[in-house]
Amino acid sequence: MGSRCMPPDRHNDVRDGARMIAKTRRVIGCAVAIALASAVHVAAQPDDQTVFYQQDGLTLQWHVQAGLYLAFENDVFWDLAATTAPGTNFDADKRWQETYIKPGLSFQLALDDDATVFGKISAVASYTFGTDPFDEGDNGAVTLEEAYLGVRGVLDGDFGYEFSLGARELKLGTGMLIANGATSGFERGTLKFGPRKAWERSLIGRLTGQGAALTAFYLDPNELSSTDGENELIGVDLRYDATAGGFIGGTFVHALNSQTPYPQAALGGFGTPVITTGARDGTNTLGGYARTGRFGGVLQNLTLTADVAYQWNDRIDLRAWAGRVQAIYAFPDLPFTPTLTVGYQTFSGDDPRTTALERFDPLYFEGSPTAWATGTKSASTLINSNVNALVAAIQLKPSAQDTLTFRYAHIRANELRSPVQFGQATRLDITGPTSNVVSGVTDAHLADDFFIEYNRIITRNIFFTAGLAISLPGQGIKDVSGGSAPNWPGGFMNIVVNF
């Protein structure tokens, strides 16, 4: 279960497993601070600070985002390396710093026919000092982030259109399937910050009108050069936003090309998993999402959300599923205006009793604690496959600038003796009367994660975040390490500047 912390099996080495986790999900770290900064920035209108030219229908605007992150973690991955791979000399206590800067330039040009041409170019320079949990550090890179051109306008008064081509961000629905278009960490540095979001290549077309939006897309993710899976996706998203609040929508994604492998449990759960290279190629995913608007009466502060997804690929006999339900209730009349969130999310795992493949592929989900991370510390090890989690959070606002959030997640495996994450090491299990080669876990309880987070809006462009987290290993993790495993604590603080 810990990529760099478990011995490699005959199909994968530990490094590739860790990189697959980073490619498939957004490592959480300070994602909340970046998301908060981005949200405030998007909501704000261009001001004199960033708009440096505005004449004859042409607007030029500069953008800068930068951050500094300090972190420590002890007994990373529950120190499984101490018992499962002592020969690797893996140091489970980590201290490291990350920094990045993302400058950019955008323009809008209003044409005579009510159309607007727009575009943006930006880059990311990032670096990690020290050694991060995946045993990488003292490295970084400068990469192109956004580079796109587009046109938008109005059709027949009530309908709008927008088309763009190039490297651009795109998030659909709640971020369950399509959100994180780029990979950070490893040779690029800034594993936890994850400042890269844009797809390396995209073609996006959108028609809007009367509350509905139809989006068609082609996407090529910005992957690490060392582990580029040659992924290409096409699909369509249809969404309706109600005037009274709330929305409902659906997304279809087809993997047009991919070398990304899928692991499959050994039949009966005994033996090494089978790794099929290029298994994602041709995989279809159909997802639905919904969020309620404002209720009346005593339920006026209640919000319900639901997501569901189904996957299939006849070429490899894949049938998989995932879903989440969530309830959010605000108490605006109580001190600190608390908001309570309770939810349950689940992602199918491969059933070792069948010859078919049932393991859900989470694609490019948004992996922050407020989105689709499975746990907090555990989210650095577990991707959204063969896991389920009962999650709860309470958010307090002592002031308009300060937010304090307490999070808890109880995490379990859906299928025993089946890969829980990519890179799951095969091992000899001797807990029963006989010795058997197994992968995955033999007890469903994986971990209980606790997270305390503080956010401070210093100014409209400067944000501070600090947090403490601890992951308590469940019996499934303890059994992997021979019956016991230490807790996995950590903490961080960061500051983000966003214009």
88 near 136, Cβ under 8 Å?
Answer: no
113: amino acid identity, one letter: D
**Contact partners, residue 35, CB within 8 Å, separation at least 6:** 368, 370
pLDDT of 422: 56
Q: Which of 486, 309, 320, 284 is nearest to 414 (CA)?
A: 320
7: amino acid identity, one letter: P
Instruction: Report the sign of the C-alpha dihedral through residues 346, 300, 456, 183, in that order.
Output: positive
Instruction: Report the sign of the C-alpha dihedral through residues 306, 367, 182, 282, in that order.
Output: negative
Going through 5-57 in order, the beta strands assigned E by DSSP cover 51-55
**Residue 497: exposed, middle, or buried by beta-carbon count in 10 A (0-12, 13-18, 19+)?**
middle
pLDDT of 20: 44
111-146 per-position pLDDT tens digit: 987 899 999 999 999 999 999 999 999 999 999 999
pLDDT of 226: 86
pLDDT of 380: 86
pLDDT of 162: 97
Q: How many CB atoms lie within 10 A of CB 308?
A: 16
pLDDT of 424: 57
Instruction: Please give the Cα distance from 388 to 445 (Å, whole number).
Output: 10
pLDDT of 218: 98
426-453 per-position pLDDT tens digit: 555 554 444 455 678 999 999 999 999 9
Q: Which of 292, 301, 287 is nearest to 246 (CA)?
A: 292
Instruction: Please give the Cα distance from 201 to 386 (Å, whole number).
Output: 30
**What radius of gyration do the chain's Cα atoms show?**
23
pLDDT of 423: 53
Instruction: Please give the Cα distance from 369 to 329 (Å, whole number).
Output: 18
Query: Long-range pairs for 18-22 at CB < 8 Å and ≥24 separation?
Result: 18/134, 18/423, 19/134, 19/186, 19/224, 19/226, 19/227, 20/227, 20/383, 20/422, 20/423, 21/380, 21/381, 21/383, 21/421, 21/422, 21/423, 22/134, 22/183, 22/184, 22/185, 22/186, 22/191, 22/224
Instruction: Please give the Cα distance from 476 to 389 (Å, whole number).
Output: 14
pLDDT of 37: 46
Task: pLDDT tens for the chain, 499 residues: list them.
Answer: 333 333 233 333 334 444 444 444 444 444 444 444 444 444 334 457 899 999 999 999 999 999 999 999 999 999 988 877 777 888 999 999 999 999 999 999 999 878 999 999 999 999 999 999 999 999 999 999 999 999 999 988 789 999 999 999 999 999 999 999 999 999 999 999 999 999 999 999 999 999 999 999 999 999 998 889 999 999 999 999 998 889 999 999 999 999 999 999 999 988 888 889 999 999 999 999 999 988 888 899 999 999 999 999 999 999 999 999 999 999 999 999 999 999 999 999 999 999 999 999 999 999 988 999 999 999 988 889 999 999 999 999 999 999 999 999 999 999 999 998 755 545 555 544 444 556 789 999 999 999 999 999 999 999 999 999 999 999 999 988 888 999 999 999 999 999 9
